[in-house]
Amino acid sequence: MMNELLDKTIENLPPLPETVIKLRNYVDKSGSEVRMQDVVSIISQDPLLTADLLRLANSSYYGFSREISTINQVVALLGISNIKNIAIANSLKGKFNINVSPYGLDTPTFLRNSNNEVQFITEWLSEEDKKLAQEIVPCTMLLRLGMILFSSMLIQQRRDKEFLELIKQNNYKNISFVENEFFGTDHLSFSGFLFNYWKFDEDLIESLAYITAPHAASDHVKKNAYALAIANRVFEPYEGGNPYNMHEAVALIQEAATQGIKFDLENFKDKLPQEAKINLQVQVY
């Protein structure tokens, strides 16, 4: 049963913009009959969404070599399911007041890390699997949303100091245990619930659901789940990129290979942030 804090968090979720709902409902209802021109038409009715999608398509997140100047190009290059996911993720991104002090984290650093994680996914995967990189960008954009919403509710309910005290008692480790104590779930599971609530693409929902156990994901999303799990080791808010997590990331790449999923290890190492590269050289026992 969900507890009161979680109920309140869900009650306070912002609504999606009308055009994004229209786009999502059209794509979901049409299934295999979906028409690219109809998708373009829905997006084109909303100048703000049009501008946002063009800006994102031309950002370093997607790394296209030429400028994308029309919505037709955006939809053709990124694909319809991906456009739906990006439109939902982007419409949510600016909706939240972000203050992660209940977690004992510095908010500007947290935001910078979240942005760097999306950037890293793009740079790491764009050469070896561009389609995969494009698919998981919306998921990475919202990966820490559970933490943001939990923080907001704790501050509103004046339980932030109590939460932080318990985190300190746990030496900033096993955060999911503390989250479960307060909310009855952890922030990654809650992000997965939100992806379902906002009706993201099923594959994206499943990819996130298996971030802590990628080997158990269905074959068609297993590589997505591994990529998210690996990036999570590099950018986890407390100990991302530390020696232990970096060796775990490499172990995940090796584990994926035993299941027929290939990541280029040297490319991964090459694209790592400098500190993570150094930490990879540290022996862990």
pTM of the full structure:
0.90
**For residue 244, how far is the Cα from the chain centroid?**
22
Cβ-based neighbour number of residue 14 at 10 Å = 10
131-141 pLDDT, tens digit each: 899 899 999 98
What are the structural domains of the chain? 4-280 (1.10.3210.10)
Residues in CB range of 155: below 8 A, 6 or more apart:
99, 101, 102
Read off the pLDDT of residues 187-230 as tens digits, 9 standing for 90 and up.
999 999 999 999 999 999 999 999 999 999 999 999 999 999 99
Measure the CA–CA gap between 119 and 235, rounded to whole angstroms: 11
Q: Three-state secondary structure along 244-272?
A: HHHHHHHHHHHHHHHCCCCCCHHHHHHHC
Q: What percent of the chain lies above the pLDDT cut of 70? A: 99
**What's at 117, amino acid-wise?**
E
Other C-beta atoms within 10 Å of 92: how many?
A: 20
